[in-house]
Chain A
Amino acid sequence: MRKKLLAAILMFSLVGFSGLSPLWAAKPVKLGFTYIMSGPFATYGQFAKKGALMAVDEINQAGGILGHPVKAFFEDSTGKPDVALRAIRKLVYQQKVDCLIGLDSSGVAKSVVPSIPQMKTPLIITHAATPDVTGNVCNRYTFRISLNLAQNVKAAASLAAQTKAKTWTTIGPDYAFGHQSWEYFQKYLKEIKPDTSFMSKDKVAFPPFKTSDFSAYITKVMQSKPDGVLVSLWGGNLINFIRQGSEMGFFNGDFEVLVTLGAATEVLSALKDKMPEGLWVGSRYWFLANQSALNKTFVKNYYRRYQEYPSYNAHGAYGAIYTYKKAAEKAGKIDKEAIIKALEGLKVELPVGTIYIRPEDHQAVTDACWGKTAADPNYPIRILKPMKIFKGVDITPAVSQTGCTMK
């Protein structure tokens, strides 16, 4: 009798345990994130982590990816290529992640991307904007879902063509990002408006990245008497430049000003009402641009969770996880090669809009939003009014122009 009772108890407990949440038993999907988490640019990694954690929680609460719970691992690239590579190797070989997500610094991305194929793990880039990672160093393991430099600058060139400005100059950081922004801007603007002219090398301004006092460059640009200025400074540099520039009359309307990354939330929140109004600014994601229900829910939930509006890097990390989820569902299994195939040609709706990942270069065709800064009593920061949405198909250069020879 006691044996039967024991057997019955054992059977019931077995049934009981297996009846518990299926997530508890399934093998987790591991995602490895590599961003700048320390040092002067730690904000960018931290924003991305916020977006990522929110996506992971949302997905896990809804049952995971194909029934598997999502587990996120975060590594610090510190903005250095060798550290980033070590972090990525740790994620792939030690943590055995199913997918790599990350990279904010263009310099790091360009150095790291050629090493990704040997790790046989897909990498989804969510922030680094250098055209090269889906251009001349593209490979089948690397994807990018965020707006890249070429796309954003093409939108800027369209805006520039609609103004009366005939002679353009630039002020940008003295490294690849600043120089490439200027190079692409000239190329695209000349295609639309061939009679535009651009200031010579000795008149344009490329302050070193460490500059905190831009007054000499502000003076230089103002003295060269341009009709329009392309500003590709970003982050702390942009904040200092805008403060110092407004004091020196840079934004008085003597010339057009296009700020490619002026709608970044960390810039707008730091400057608050010191940000001039009526300035054309762009970003990789603007939280008020897309009127879709998905975006509105995303912004509402993000604000409720973090008491701030989502920045483009938060959106990037968030979007990458949902992109991976959709690819996994399309592939039907958590398998690296199957998911790579599924990512190619994938259309997924993200808060920024519906993006399409081109099979030829793995760059997402995504919309861009530019707008004029304006004060609004409902928001503590400048918002964009009017906004101008550039459709992805209009601003994404053809594959033949990118230098990508993957296919």
Chain B
Amino acid sequence: MESLVTNLLNGLSWGMLLFLISVGLTTVFGVLGILNFAHGSFFMLGAYLCMQVMHVVPSFWLGILIGPLAVALLGIVIEKFLLRRVYDRDVSFQLLLTFAILLVLDDAVRIIWGAGYHVVDAPKILAGTIPLFSHSYPVYRIFLIIIGPLIGIALWSFFHFTRWGRIIRAAAVDREMAEGIGIRVPLLFTAVFAFGSWLAALGGALAAPHQSVAPSMGESIIIESFIVVVIGGMGSFPGAFVGALLLGLLESFGTVFAGRAQMALPYILLALVLLIRPRGFFGREA
């Protein structure tokens, strides 16, 4: 029983973190049609900037406020001056460009903060543990489990009930039509890219107290978020939620049941989805 509950909590908290990062990736793809390889680097930058803010003012809340905003600003610059040039080109140019951005950001982090590991403290009210059966469970992970759906609901409401949300969805479905009815699509694209970067950075800042801040942070998470996005359906918001939860739980329970094969589980799932339902659980028809 204890094992079940602990693994459930582990899977849910990791899944929620994965959801935050994947939803940014899938939104950017859905609206702009760009698969952003550098998304993991935004995740990493969010963690580093949060850490940096906390060096100046030891407040985690300030860190998660300022850090992601700074990364969003960087996202605006990258979109306006770099990405915009490759929208009409072959998709391989886009991949090359975002990969190049990833490399530049990774090394920039290493130059600025050094190659070592850093540790960020969780804020006092979230830093404790609660007793769970015969052991303890960190409060911070419970916080992640709660905040994930909250942000999810906020995003979903934004997309479905606000004017801006509907405009974004319209542009995602048909860019030319949206332009035809007067929506300033270039501005929208910049805004959506900044928003996706903001989400990734928020994920990074939230992940920082939970794992060490290091230049390799982005690499491990980007592959998992790609899997989530493909499984859930590219461009689909509920797809990112379901995919992330599924992957989180799979990895958590996989360690119990699958032994050495646990590593392969996300990829097996990916392969199955691509074979049986290539557009993902909630994806639109290609």
Contact = CB atoms under 8 A, between A and B. Distances in A.
Interface of A: 38-43, 46, 174, 201-202, 205-208, 210-213, 215-217, 219-220, 222-223, 235-236, 239-240, 243-244, 247-249, 252, 266-267, 269-272, 274
A239 B217 contact: no
A275 to B, nearest CB: 10
Nearest to A210: B220
Nearest to B213: A270
B254 to A, nearest CB: 8
Interface residues of B, number: 43
Contacts of B210: 213, 243-244
A205 B119 CA distance: 24
Contacts of B110: 38, 42
A40 B219 contact: yes
Given A222-B135, A248-B137, A236 B255 contact: no
Nearest to A40: B216
B211 A243 contact: yes
Contacts of A239: 117, 119, 212
B215 A220 contact: no
B76 to A, nearest CB: 28
A271 B221 contact: no
17 contacts: A39-B215, A40-B216, A41-B216, A43-B115, A46-B115, A174-B263, A206-B260, A210-B219, A212-B220, A213-B14, A216-B252, A216-B254, A219-B7, A244-B210, A247-B141, A248-B129, A248-B137
Given A212-B217, A212-B220, A270 B10 contact: no
B208 to A, nearest CB: 11
Nearest to A37: B115
Which of B107, B129, B214 has the largest count of A CB atoms less than 10 A from its CB? B214
A247 B117 contact: no
A239 B3 CA distance: 24
Nearest to B256: A220
Nearest to A209: B220
A43 B6 CA distance: 34
Contact of A217 (B13, B129, B255): B255
Given A212-B221, A215-B14, A247-B129, A270 B119 contact: yes
A243 B212 CA distance: 9
B220 A215 contact: no
Given A210-B219, A249-B136, A270 B212 contact: yes
B129 A216 contact: no
Nearest to A205: B255
B2 interface: yes
B28 to A, nearest CB: 23
Nearest 6 pairs of A and B residues by beta carbon? A40-B216, A247-B138, A42-B115, A249-B135, A215-B10, A216-B255
Nearest to B248: A213
Contacts of B220: 210-212
B232 to A, nearest CB: 20
Given A202-B259, A216-B256, 13 more contacts: A40-B215, A42-B215, A43-B115, A174-B263, A212-B220, A213-B14, A217-B255, A219-B7, A239-B119, A239-B212, A240-B212, A249-B129, A270-B118
B180 interface: no
Interface in B83-129: 107, 110, 114-119, 129
A216 B3 CA distance: 10
A43 B3 contact: no
A41 B263 CA distance: 22
B136 A236 contact: no
Contacts of A38: 107, 110
Nearest to A308: B116
